[in-house]
Structure 1
Amino acid sequence: MKVAVRTTGHVMGCKQALLAGLLCLLSGIVCAQPQAPASLAEQRAKAVTEVVLGILSYARWPVEPDRLRLCVIGPTEYTDDLLKGTTQATGRPVTVRRLLASNPTIAGECDAAYIGKLTVEERNHLFAALTGRPVLSISESDDQCTVGSLFCLRVSDEQVSFEVNLDSVARSGVRIHPSVLQLSRRKPAAT
């Protein structure tokens, strides 16, 4: 009888140990799952970062910089992720910093400019300073992509797309791979 009790206790102990092990295993799997962005704003910021880095990777400057200098100019909505700085897929580091639109060093200290919401006067001043300089400009605001910026982002809940201002690209001195120009013509997926 003592053996039967011991066996029953041993079986119960094995079941508990097995259950505890299974719970530990499942909790490890749950913890290992990538954390989803907490908000739609974070998702958009990550998507904008991917698009901006993609555009930059298909651009060629007259003198290729070892470290790409991206300047964020004006108030922006989607640069939280971008401002952390990053490295391109090619391994080239990207240094990101904020500057005021009136900063006179933009044309000489920026290889690319991510432009947020600016007044008409600030935009005109900025693009006058960038004229004739090899600076790739990407506009976040909802302009028509007709004046100044090489690329204009279109951010929605479903995706981030962009338009290209071919006239600005031609005058910028920055060469853009034709694949990027083709991507800008692609229509958003129907949902």
Structure 2
Amino acid sequence: MAGHLAGEILLRLMWQSDSDEQRQPAFEDEVADDAKSMDDRLHRKAGVVTGADDHLLRAHRVANRTLRHEDIDWLCNGFSAFLASSGRVPLERCLRLPTNERALRRARRDDLLCAAWLQTDPALSGWQRSEALAMEVRRFGARKWPRWSALDAAPEEASAMDQALFEAFRSHERVPGTAMQLHNIAAQCRGE
């Protein structure tokens, strides 16, 4: 059943009729200049921070019908792997998406830590930004998280850094606190 559904999704994305233009995926060169900001809003609404896990971002673009050309390649490669395995390998794995709740929570946490990393001083080197974030994570974990952990959302007056850290602490039971761990996670932000 999953194979049939997966094939149907791909066919719908690739072979929609020209008369059904409002349902056609929007490709990068056809999207208005504000496409990136629209993409960013969609990712934030879905709980994903732009610049983080590429495969999750691609999945969100597919779901929101704002595909880019490289997303079609990603889908084709994933579906090809799925079909080549005769459906024995789950589609999520073929698309390199997190395959269980824990992996999704970890990916969300890492996205949020990337957002926090981006809030550090851009004049610093990448390593110095990771050290600064490690200090912020320890500060937040010791001072703010104990008071805020019962809240549904960070207080409105919280800084963007504290909002990202609040969501990161909420999303996963373990938040890395060393500069090295955070530097490795922030590699996504740096495009490495």
TM-score norm. by structure 1 comes to 0.27
Which has more radius of gyration?
1
TM-score w.r.t. length of structure 2: 0.27
| Structure with the higher helix share, 1 or 2 | 2
Q: Comparing both structures, which one devotes a greater share of its residues to strand? A: 1
